[in-house]
Amino acid sequence: MDYDLFVIGAGSGGVRAARWASRLGAKVAIAEERFLGGTCVNVGCIPKKLFYYGAHHAHSIEESRGFGWSGDMSFDWRILRNNQAAEVRRLNGIYENLLNSAGVDIHPQRAELTAPKHLHLVDGAEHTAERVLLATGGAPQVPDFPGSERALISDDLFELDELPERLLIIGGGYIAVEFASIFAALGSEVVLSYRGGTLLRHFDADISRCVLAELRRSGVSVRLNCDIERLDPEGHLHRVSFAGGDAETFEQVLCATGRAPRLGAIAAGAGELALTETGKVAVDADFATSIPHLYALGDIIEGPELTPVAIAEAMNFAERAYGGSTEELDYANIPTAVFTQPSVGTAGPTEAEAREMLGEDIDIYRTEFRHLKHTLSGSEERTMMKLIVRRSTDVVLAVHVVGLDAGEIVQGFAAAVRAGVTKSQLDGTIGIHPTAAEELVTLREPLQGATAT
């Protein structure tokens, strides 16, 4: 065998698996046909967060007047776009260095399995490996309506030449609400069209309600239960026909309608790759697929499509394969954030999920308030904080926050939730004053009756 491990896909999961396996003594190669760092580094989390910071400044400039600042500032889209692109290039280089210094062979091209343990690379090279790991991630999926091929996907937003004057975003999940918030702050007129009735519908109902209210407050026109029928060219614009007969023109249309596993025919030569009901690669606790010696992790398998999850899977895979570990990865209570303005941070089940599991054995603590900062900023933005507690054991099941730096706040509380913190222990924690997060240790009265609104 040429290698102990051959990884296909150098995104968050693939790179970590390659590095960790190599560190544990395996001889490792990695193939990547597009860019080192995958979705997160190149067209996802990192450039999106840089755009989010850019959008945040728009709010800060506006809000600074109440604190005595004055003067005009203008925004140049190309500076933000170019600086973001330069940072992404820098990170590509860092990933390359990380792999090189871990002793991993990098093949910057497509690799496919021709048989179990046998790989064919585009340049004609053939390699063998005791284990092959698929970590090819996912790609945005676009609904099938006439003209949908004219719509942008989220990858395209990082290369736009101009800030769109009028932008239609289709979808109601993470990417739709994040980019609606970002582009509205940067100055686009944004319409968000979602086929269902609840944005972020997998989140706690209070989060969905607050995010909807804040998007509307920030000027996004949110249209719920709204379907798109077709997209036609009209000069340099797109004419969008909505179900129901209305039609409007937009400079750009973004489909933020979920992602599909990037599989292609990658494993076709090696046998029958079993898929789950949702079309993802089926794996066991070792991340082994139905094809002998072939493993898979990250966005191509079931589970949250999140970088830290892919990294945790990669570490677990490498430790089990090469480090003698028998520990299974624990997927409970995975925290997540949504980078809207204000942002969302959440750990643990939604209220609906907790009620389904425990019936009436839960207490809900919730507060909504105006952040101290906004007493002078003039912003009407609201902060929402919510705890879900199991009444019979006093254990805190979930923390949900919508507000300034919600992700930063919830990251710490997520550790406490995972460790089984009780409500009395939160009550016994002295707050840090004046902060917003101190509310989470000073909530004393549970809400009465049905709560989620």
Positions marked catalytic: 433
Contact pick of 258, 303, 323, 446 for ligand NDP (by CB under 6 A): 258
Quote the distance between the C-alpha of residue 339 and its chain's center.
Answer: 9
Contact pick of 176, 297, 311, 417 for ligand NDP (by CB under 6 A): 176
| Distance in angstroms (rounded) separating the CA atoms of residues 263 and 109 | 15
Buried b vs exposed e over 260-273: b needs ≥16 C-beta within 10 Å?
ebbbeebbeebeeb
Residue matched to tokens 């698996």? 17
Determine if 257 is a binding residue for ligand NDP (CB under 6 A).
yes
* Least distance from ligand NDP to the Cβ atom of residue 301, Å: 13
Contact pick of 338, 384, 387, 402 for ligand NDP (by CB under 6 A): 338
Contact pick of 21, 41, 175, 347 for ligand NDP (by CB under 6 A): 175
Determine if 171 is a binding residue for ligand NDP (CB under 6 A).
yes
| Closer by beta carbon to ligand NDP, 194 or else 365 | 194
Longest Cα–Cα distance in the chain: 69
Determine if 262 is a binding residue for ligand NDP (CB under 6 A).
no
Is 198 buried (19+), middle (13-18) or exposed (0-12) by CB count in 10 A?
A: middle
Determine if 204 is a binding residue for ligand NDP (CB under 6 A).
no
Determine if 269 is a binding residue for ligand NDP (CB under 6 A).
no
| Distance in angstroms (rounded) separating the CA atoms of residues 343 and 403 | 5
| Closer by beta carbon to ligand NDP, 119 or else 409 | 409
- Nearest alpha-carbon partner for 446 in 367, 382, 353, 352: 367
Contact between residue 443 and residue 367 where contact means Cβ atoms under 8 Å apart: yes
End-to-end CA distance of the chain: 60
- With contacts defined by CB under 6 A, name the span among 110-118, 256-264, 273-281, 389-397 that binds ligand NDP: 256-264
Dihedral sign (CA 201, 204, 209, 212) = negative
| Closer by beta carbon to ligand NDP, 134 or else 182 | 182
Determine if 336 is a binding residue for ligand NDP (CB under 6 A).
yes
| Distance in angstroms (rounded) separating the CA atoms of residues 275 and 347 | 29
Site for ligand NDP in 142-161 (CB under 6 A): 143
| Distance in angstroms (rounded) separating the CA atoms of residues 415 and 308 | 14
Contact pick of 20, 35, 250, 339 for ligand NDP (by CB under 6 A): 339
| Distance in angstroms (rounded) separating the CA atoms of residues 224 and 246 | 14
- With contacts defined by CB under 6 A, name the span among 51-59, 195-203, 209-217, 366-374 that binds ligand NDP: 195-203
Collapsed DSSP state (helix, strand, coil) of residue 147 = coil
Contact pick of 196, 233, 292, 378 for ligand NDP (by CB under 6 A): 196
* Least distance from ligand NDP to the Cβ atom of residue 435, Å: 23
Determine if 337 is a binding residue for ligand NDP (CB under 6 A).
yes
Residues in contact with ligand NDP by the rule CB under 6 A: 143, 170-176, 178, 194-196, 201, 256-259, 304-306, 336-339
